[in-house]
Amino acid sequence: MEPMEPKEACLRVLGEAGGETLHWTVVLDRALTQRLIDPFTTRDVRGVVVKSLAALAKEGRVDKQGAGLYRAKAELI
């Protein structure tokens, strides 16, 4: 599987979680485990994932449930 843009990787991980609320560290771990993000080509992969999730929440594409906690919108599930 080809690595994808961090925002798209976060959306995929949250969508696959089936409505479960995930901490950003779990999103990062799953994205790396599934090889959705390449840590060798993405500088500061942790910062990129945190910023991507915050941007997705601001855009209304994911729901922020608390400090560092995110859930997919119902449309993604």
pLDDT at 1 over 70: no
**Per-residue pLDDT tens digits for 6-44:** 999 999 999 999 899 999 999 999 999 999 999 999 999
> What pLDDT score was predicted for residue 77?
57
> What pLDDT score was predicted for residue 3?
80
Tokens of 24: 């950003």
> What pLDDT score was predicted for residue 47?
97
Domains in the chain with CATH codes: 6-71 (1.10.10)
Question: Which segments of the chain does DSSP mark as H helices, in order?
Answer: 6-16, 24-33, 45-58
